[in-house]
Structure 1
């Protein structure tokens, strides 16, 4: 039976040489849903409804470029010998941490230009970011990528997964950990937690920093299962190193901002 398993087609539609891939469609759905969630909350928090739409016009392309730059840096041994491949982003090779770095820098500059608190923007956006990440991982599922090490079919069946997920994890004659699913579920739980924390009325900035901590914890453990990690050294995975660094940095920022009086304004307070 295993030899007859056919993977899901990663291409949704084809028009001659032009193909629309499920990966791009799923990423687009994630961005669209995230935008709906963030725009509704922005209105409730007294911001212009279209503020985040304006931000995304800058943040999305910059995030894609920075995600590619990040990936190329840590695969420089290959790209230094094949510089023509650097621009071929359509062939894969982007890193979420690179995208987040680019998006955060863009948001900081945008906030300064618009006269809005950076922390207010990131707090409002935090649940939407992790929701978009949760949905986006299903693009990896369609491409049969970002999976973990080899497992048995029985292992996957014991997780009570739907048949279509089990079959899609059958790649080149073996079954693999559905790490895309582990991270997606972790992020959905994080989304729910962040939505609930809005009502707790945390100090400004702490909702976003909670997102950073939550996502980084999950990414650290999921990354340990993956087979395609960018490596900092022979035995040290870059994503795990970044995750630990972000957790420590977020905790330090929470403590320092409270001690210095930089976080006296709360999430539900009015004002920019």
Structure 2
């Protein structure tokens, strides 16, 4: 059994200016996106598209800007609506207090979808072509976020058998109970494994929207599994007790179903990803 190593959440302190590790993981996520997106330009169909619809580094920079706005706005609104709707209904101004913490992946994903729709529309690119480009570049950023969760000692797991070699005590939980390091599980599943599978799948040209569909299915399935080992939020424990599933799992169910429907729709539609058409 291991004990959580107390890590100072502040990476650099210069006078009143404090740079937190969690903020650095966001920067790492954005840097990884830029690196992978530039490699993605060499994949089909993007490498073969010529003329006004051709893809370039400028597209990546613009998509990242739109995506950052979408993930922050969507992640915050999603947390307020999905996890604490009653509280923020009576304290609406605190929705803007992002420095207090509280972000939702599912909300952030919806925010990214909306932001990329605006981007595609403004550039005249097919929406699903944009989403298929972005999808394989996202999991490493999710992995970076889980590293930040571990450094902060938050989102710890459920109680585990103390004999489990990697079981860990998180004093922040208010007890000395051995727990699953669920942040590490999510890092491995939603981050590394999803990235490898999705990157390999996306290297070959697919029907338009199928790469996005596989992302929805893969993330939803891996997150659903990881939630069995993650301690539900205290104020949402009732949902787990009454239904047997956590809020995170309930949010993953429509995500997986949407991914399956989208993949089948794309297969039946049969539109090659390189086909130019209005976005």
TM-score, shorter chain, exceeding 0.5: yes
| Residue aligning to 2:87 | 78
Q: CA deviation at 1:271?
A: 5.0
Helix, strand or coil: the match of 1:12?
Answer: strand
Identify the match of residue 217 of structure 1 among 214, 218, 221.
Answer: 221
Identify the match of residue 181 of structure 1 among 172, 175, 184.
Answer: 184
CA RMSD of aligned residues (A): 2.6
Q: CA deviation at 1:22?
A: 0.6
Give deviations 1:143-175, integer Å, cap 9, x for gaps.
Answer: 1111111225431x2x4x8xxxx47x4544333
Contact 1:71–1:94 (CA under 8 A) maintained in structure 2: yes
Contact 1:40–1:49 (CA under 8 A) maintained in structure 2: no
Contact 2:74–2:107 (CA under 8 A) maintained in structure 1: yes
| Residue aligning to 1:26 | 25
Identify the match of residue 264 of structure 1 among 249, 252, 271.
Answer: 271
CA distance in 2, matches of 1:254, 1:270: 17
Please say which of residues 47-56 and 95-104 is displaced more in the overlay.
47-56
2:59 is the alignment partner of 1:63 = no
Helix, strand or coil: the match of 1:50?
Answer: helix
Structure 2: 5+ residue stretches without partners? 48-54
With over 3 angstroms needed to count, the CA separation of the structure-2 counterparts of 1:83 and 1:122, relative to structure 1, is closer
TM-score, normalization by structure 2: 0.83
Q: CA deviation at 1:182?
A: 0.8
CA distance in 2, matches of 1:232, 1:68: 21
Contact 2:136–2:202 (CA under 8 A) maintained in structure 1: no
CA distance in 1, matches of 2:237, 2:34: 34
2:199 is the alignment partner of 1:195 = yes
CA distance in 1, matches of 2:209, 2:37: 16
Q: CA deviation at 1:126?
A: 1.3
TM-score, normalization by structure 1: 0.85
Structure 1: 5+ residue stretches without partners? none
Please say which of residues 182-191 and 248-257 is displaced more in the overlay.
248-257
Helix, strand or coil: the match of 1:154?
Answer: coil
Q: CA deviation at 1:198?
A: 2.6
2:56 is the alignment partner of 1:48 = yes
Helix, strand or coil: the match of 1:119?
Answer: helix
Q: CA deviation at 1:76?
A: 2.5
With over 3 angstroms needed to count, the CA separation of the structure-2 counterparts of 1:83 and 1:221, relative to structure 1, is same
Helix, strand or coil: the match of 2:163?
Answer: helix
CA distance in 2, matches of 1:34, 1:125: 9
Q: CA deviation at 1:9?
A: 1.2
Q: CA deviation at 1:57?
A: 1.3
Please say which of residues 78-87 and 229-238 is displaced more in the overlay.
229-238
Please say which of residues 232-241 and 248-257 is displaced more in the overlay.
232-241
Contact 1:206–1:254 (CA under 8 A) maintained in structure 2: yes
Q: How many pairs does the alignment contain?
A: 259
Q: CA deviation at 1:225?
A: 2.6
